Structures are given as C-alpha cells and as structure tokens.
Amino acid sequence: MTSTSILGPGPPAKPHLLSTKTTSSIFSWWYWILSLLRPSKSPKMAEIKTWTVTEPYLNIHCALGEGPFYEADRNTLRFVDIMKKHLHTVDLTVGPGSLKTLQLDMPVGVTADIEGVDASKKILVGGKSGIYTLERETGKHELLKRFYDTEEKDERLRSNDGAVDPEGRFWIGTMNDFWVGEPQPEGTIFRFNTDLSRYTARSSITIPNSIRWSPDHKTLYFVDSKKRRLIAFDYSASTADLSNERVFFVYEGGGEPDGCRLDVEGNIWQAIYGDSCVLKISPQGKVIGRVDYPTKNITCPVFVGTELWVTTAGGDEEKYSGGVFQSRCRGGRSKGLQVQTGKGCSRVVRSQLVP
C-alpha cells in the first residue's frame, strides 16, 4: 500500500550540502530498509475463494452424520447417522419432505453400490464387525467378511469411512466403538478384494478417515484425523500396491480433518470437524478455497453435480448441528469426481449376487 503526503507552503529552502546523486542514493537506501519492515500481502491468501452457507437443507440433528452418497440415476442422496444407527435417504427432486429413515441394529460408517445389483434394493456397507449386504427396505443384513478374527477386537472396533477403488475393491478404516471412550491407536485400513479376501494396508491408526484417488488413479489420499494430516501414496490401480508414503497436507487449526472428496481437477474438498468449514486444497497441497457453515462439526462432503453437500454432527448441541447442507460453490468448475468402477460400484461379492 502506498501513501501520498501533500505539504503546504513553507519557508524558503536552504542550500543543499549534498549532491543530487548522493541524496538520491540515501533515499533509495531508506526505501529499501522500509520495504523490509513493511508487512507484505500474502499471495496465497489473496487466491482463496470463500463461500458461506447460512442454513441447512435438512435440519435433522444427526448425532454423527456421515457417509453421504449421491445416487445419480435416481437423484437421491443417502447418508448415515453412525451413533443413532440410521440410514437416511432423501429424493432431491421432491425435496426435504421426502426424507426416509431406516433404523438399523448396528452402526454403519460407509455404504457402496454393488456392480450389477439394484442399489435401491441392496447395497454394501461397512458395519460393526465387517462388510455386509444390506436390504434397504427391511434393514436385514448379511455378514460377508469380518474385519478381525478375534472376538475382543471385533467388540472394541467398528467401521468408519471408506471407498471403492477404480477396480472395484472396497477399502474401509476401523476405529474404536463409542463405548470404548477416547479412541486409541487400534484402527486399521482394510482392503477387501473382489474375491472377498482381506488385506491389511495400514494398522495402529487412531481415527482413519476418508480414502480417495486422484483423477489419473496414480495417487491414493488418506486422512489421518487424529494427526491432522492427509497422507499421499503412489498407487497402482492394477495391483492396489501403495508406495512412496508422504505427508501431503497438515491442518494447523483447532479442529481435525474428517471426510473429503476430489473434484475433476484433482482438488481435495476437506471437511474440518470442529472448525465449521470445508477447505478446497489444490493438487499441490495449497488451500485455495473455503466453505463456511453455521455449525462447527462438518463431517463429510459429497458432490451432487457441481453442488457440494455435507453431513455434520452434534445432535442438539447447536441450532443446525447434525444437519445436511447444500452449497453451489459458484465461480469454479468444481464438478465431483467419480473414479470408481461403475460410478462407485464395488465388485466385491458380485459373483455371489449377480446371476
């Protein structure tokens, strides 16, 4: 910022004792010193685009809303309340009044479509003890594969977030169940292959969260919530091998990174639990945007075309806590990325369910 001073008339000037060249040199020296002391504008901050959401689309006070999944063929949104053991579905064409809630008998952290199976009837879920098929009309479920082989671990842990990879494998993170209290580093990231074999990708994690892939399928991103960081791996789509683990982004605020989604340009839209926002992070790891919400516990985003929707948590703590919010995020080309086979369909158990 520059300033201009206008001086009024003064007494006659005295003769200079220094030459014009010397005076110019002294002024240049002082300008250089002042430029070092003057605070400069941060180019990164100037590039941040912000959006503000003022009210929810659904004000249903989820205790722990999570796992939003857009069903494009029916224009419906499904999501879960892990603590209340609910599966919610809302028809976006009809509006908020179309909300349907299915009461379950176990906590479900994440859902996925199954390739070749009508998702309005049956889906794949990460539940209390492993992965299950779930009938959406009745809530009846069938355990397909356990997370653990011991009853003690089976009891202490539950599923959290997860996703389907480009080849139809189902990745899920586990963490301590609510009754355990403060989460301990007992969680694991599992990969369930298309033949239902189980592979341990990482262990000893406190809160494993979203797992996502870059548009070219060459990078896997994983959110380690307790350590407030996003981890990146080189990823082989054909073998699912992970290599070159590195820290991609560290959140330095008071909250914790929770769920995330990628757009078609490779930007990560990262929910921040406790800090009322979703951050837009570039493929280079820089914050380039922020969506602010009127409640603090933002859990997970999902794209509905170019609209960003989020689930939240908190029950009745705040006026809008636990609601579902819609943001159009105008001013960019932020279309959601669907990198998975069959637009998010899992090939796990397909051979058992499809003739």
Q: Phi and psi for 153 in degrees, rounded to 5?
A: -65, -35
Amino acid letter, 165: D
Q: Return the closest-CA partner of residue 236 out of 317, 169, 142.
A: 169
75 annotated to bind ligand: no
Rounded to 5 degrees, φ, ψ at 198 are: -115, 135
Token pair belonging to 149: 């082989």
Q: Is 275 annotated as a binding residue?
A: no
* 258 counts as catalytic: yes
Does 224 appear as a known binding residue? no
**Dist CA 21 CA 31 (whole Å):** 16
Cα(133)–Cα(297) distance, integer angstroms? 29
Strand partners, 312: 298
d(CA 334, CA 269): 10
Which is catalytic among the residues 81, 165, 224, 258?
A: 258
N-term to C-term CA, the chain? 71
202 is in an annotated binding site: no
Could you give the C-alpha distances from 68 to 114, 187, 300, in angstroms and in order? Answer: 16, 22, 7
Q: Which of 299, 279, 276 is nearest to 287 (CA)?
A: 279
Does 66 belong to an annotated binding site?
yes
CA 232 – CA 278 distance, rounded (Å): 19
Binding residue ranges for substrate: 158, 160
Binding residue ranges: 66, 158, 160, 209, 258
Residues with a known catalytic role:
258
